[in-house]
Amino acid sequence: MKNLSVTTFIHILFSLAISALIATTIIFLSWDKASNRIKEINHYKLIADAFLSKVQLNPSKEKLEKLYNDFSVKPVSKEKIKEEITSSGKTIFTGQSVFGQVRVFQTPTNHYIYIQRLGYNIMLKDNRPPKYTLHLVVSISIILIILLLALYLAILKKLYPLKKLHMEIERFAKGETDIDMPCLDNNDEIGKIAKSFDHAIKHINQLTSSKNLFMRNIMHELKTPITKGRIIVESIDDDMIKEILIRAFNRMNELITELAQIERVTTQNFEPLLEYHNLSEVLQKSKDMLMVDESKMSITYNDFRFKTDIRLLSLAIKNLLDNGIKYGGSVEFKATFKSIEIISKGRELEEPLEYYIEPFSQEQKRKSGFGLGLYIVYSILDKLNYKLEYRYNDGKNIFEIVL
């Protein structure tokens, strides 16, 4: 029941209610029909016994009239109704007693009681008014079904804005920011939810715009002194110092570029550029960004070609290699066409992997100062539809990228 949508639950609820109403009506009518049949038979037996017993006493015309009135019957000529009984009548009861026998005939419009004894017989017509139980029950059932259907349609109509609201929320969750929020003019609970969510969307859009503006400004402001510093470095005569400073400035420039790439990747509407590349190309690009002594890396793989965004995946691998070297001194790189493993010695992570893929987690801040670590890797792999898995084995931290 927890996984059922509200609309589906209402469908089921009203279907069960209408089915139960129809079933109850059918059962009641069947019971009423059987009950009435028993009452009718007993009634006709009573009529037969009353008339047959009175006949023995040669009752007067007044007494017979009283019997007719008491039982709501009247004598009719057999010849007049013979054709009616023959063409459309049927026998619904036959019985006998010590006084004689009785037969009851039913036609589409009347009931006839034929009482017979030795030397005497009489045909009586049942003049009781027809019972309207069937029509009454069916009419009430139809009215109730119509009311249930009207209530069902009214509830669905009331819930329709909620369905539309859900569709707009899903659009927003997929990264669309131009959301047309429904039922903002309504004052009911759904309207209030829509208004609150509309305010939240506008606030989030404002924060996103502010963040993007801040990132663009800060990267621009950082690039300016780096560029100036790079120009000044060219005037230094000491080649060793000059090379170290150039590499440092280049690294800072790359960090700013990476930061811009991360900001772009983490936006919800970002789509990676998927092209076919060899793993060797991806790894080489990661090593170029890493700028460390390759003697600290042990690399084992058979090259293969696959579809990926080379800039994103190389950045993710670079981050994992960098973490491995930083905290383990050296790193192993292993790969098959199914997965890529980055292995380094060190202590096991104190928290589950999910803790470290949050931006600026406390442990990352204490260790690296950069605070983005595995969050960058996870965000990139998520955009590429890859998985990041972690396990600890024989004193080694193993991060696996499942392709």
pLDDT (tens digit per residue) in 201-260 = 888 878 877 877 777 787 777 778 888 888 888 888 788 888 888 878 877 877 777 677
The mean per-residue pLDDT over the stretch 34-43 comes to 84
Distance CA 204, CA 199 (A): 9
Assign residue 300 the CATH number of its domain.
3.30.565.10
pLDDT (tens digit per residue) in 130-167 = 777 778 888 898 999 999 999 999 888 888 888 888 78
Residues 153-162: contacts with CB within 8 Å, 24+ apart?
155/10, 156/7, 156/10, 158/190, 159/6, 159/7, 159/10, 161/186, 161/190, 161/191, 161/194, 162/6, 162/190
What angle separates helix 373-383 from helix 310-328, to the nearest 10 degrees? Answer: 150
Please indicate, yes or no, if residue 140 is contained in any of the structural domains: no
Distances from the Cα of 303 to the Cαs of 165, 278, 288, 388, in angstroms? 49, 7, 18, 21
Residue type for position 389: E
> Any bridge partners for residue 332, and if so which?
298, 343
DSSP calls for 330-349: SEEEEE-SSEEEEEEESPPP
pLDDT (tens digit per residue) in 101-118 = 888 888 888 888 888 877
> Among all chains, which residue has been given the structure tokens 């000529």?
77
Please indicate, yes or no, if residue 208 is contained in any of the structural domains: no
Cβ within 8 Å of residue 280, ≥6 positions away: 303
Query: Three-state DSSP class for 131?
Result: coil
Domain edge (last residue) among 107, 131, 155:
131
The domain total for the chain is: 2
Please indicate, yes or no, if residue 141 is contained in any of the structural domains: no
> Among all chains, which residue has been given the structure tokens 């069902």?
152
pLDDT of 396: 92
Cβ within 8 Å of residue 95, ≥6 positions away: 41, 44, 45, 48, 101, 102
pLDDT (tens digit per residue) in 54-104 = 765 566 778 888 888 888 888 888 888 888 888 888 888 887 777 778 888
Please indicate, yes or no, if residue 115 is contained in any of the structural domains: yes
Q: Domain range spanning residue 369?
A: 275-402
pTM listed for this prediction:
0.48
Token duo for residue 28: 């009641």
> Among all chains, which residue has been given the structure tokens 């066409």?
337
pLDDT (tens digit per residue) in 374-389 = 888 888 898 899 999 9
Distances from the Cα of 5 to the Cαs of 12, 159, 167, in angstroms? 11, 11, 14
pLDDT of 364: 45
Domain edge (last residue) among 78, 104, 131:
131
Domain edge (last residue) among 131, 160, 195:
131
Distance CA 371, CA 373 (A): 6
Among residues 45, 43, 67, which one has the least CA distance to residue 54? Answer: 67
Please indicate, yes or no, if residue 334 is contained in any of the structural domains: yes
Please indicate, yes or no, if residue 190 is contained in any of the structural domains: no
